[in-house]
Amino acid sequence: MIQVLLVDDEALTLELHRTYIERLDGFVVAGECSGARAALSALLDRRPTAGIDLVLLDMTMPDGTGLDVLRHVRAHAADVDVIAVTGVRDADIVRQMVALGVAQYLVKPFTFATFRERMEQYRDYRQRARQATGEATQAEIDALLGALRPAVTAELPKGLAADTLERVSGAVRTRGPLSASEAAQVLGISRVAVRRYLEHLADSGRVLRAPRYGTPGRPESEYRWRS
């Protein structure tokens, strides 16, 4: 499990991020800090929380900035990854955070779908890094670095809506494998419409399509989320 430290001075934001983390596989909240000093204590003293892998770090707090926290962490060579989660959009701040090795820079407000995508990218990066041994090939290095890059959202085919695509994706992810008929029943959408979304997800490589045998008549396709 990836141990996550949440750092934000707003209690509601901490609660929101905690619920987001609890909905993801492979992550667990290791601690929560409401300020820069508390974050440094958790990361450098290693007494309140130990074994932290990832910090979701706010930029603006009453007792210091996220930039200050990251500078201190890097100065002490603490082995921890950081994702900035902030409303700060200043390009100079972004450049400084990147120079200090921030893994992602996530601008508030954002949806759970966006949060999940970035966290899954980070999880993929950790898995690739853990599996790499010895001298890496150029392809392995490119794959490792590419795992942290946000995917570019392609334009949807005509007739498909982003919100419905997210609903269909969520159904397959949480309840799959599903056939088009089963997904239509779960979502309350026509089978023909659902099948278009499922086929788009399969063509884009986000789900795996396979024939389902053992049912009367022609084999029906089922769709499984690509883990």
| CATH code, domain with 105 | 3.40.50.2300
Domain boundary among 119, 146, 173: 146
User: What angle separates helix 66-75 from helix 91-99, to the nearest 10 degrees?
Assistant: 20
| CATH code, domain with 181 | 1.10.10.10
Q: 219 lies in a domain?
A: yes
Q: 117 lies in a domain?
A: yes
Strand order in the sheet with 178-179: 178-179, 220-225, 207-212
What confidence score (pLDDT) does residue 3 get? 95
Q: Of 226 and 134, which is predicted with more confidence?
A: 226
Q: Of 157 and 135, which is predicted with more confidence?
A: 157
Q: 203 lies in a domain?
A: yes
- Residue range of the domain that includes 134: 2-146
What confidence score (pLDDT) does residue 119 get? 92
Residues 58, 169 share a domain: no
Residues 80, 47 share a domain: yes
What residues have CB less than 8 Å from 153, skipping those under 6 apart?
none
The string of pLDDT tens digits covering residues 39-94 is 999 998 754 445 899 999 999 999 999 999 999 999 987 779 999 999 888 889 99
Residues 119, 94 share a domain: yes
Mean pLDDT of the chain: 85
Residues 23, 87 share a domain: yes
pTM: predicted TM-score of the whole model, two decimal places: 0.64
What residues have CB less than 8 Å from 19, skipping those under 6 apart?
none
Q: Of 138 and 14, which is predicted with more confidence?
A: 14
The string of pLDDT tens digits covering residues 81-136 is 999 999 888 889 999 999 998 998 998 888 888 899 899 889 988 887 777 666 76
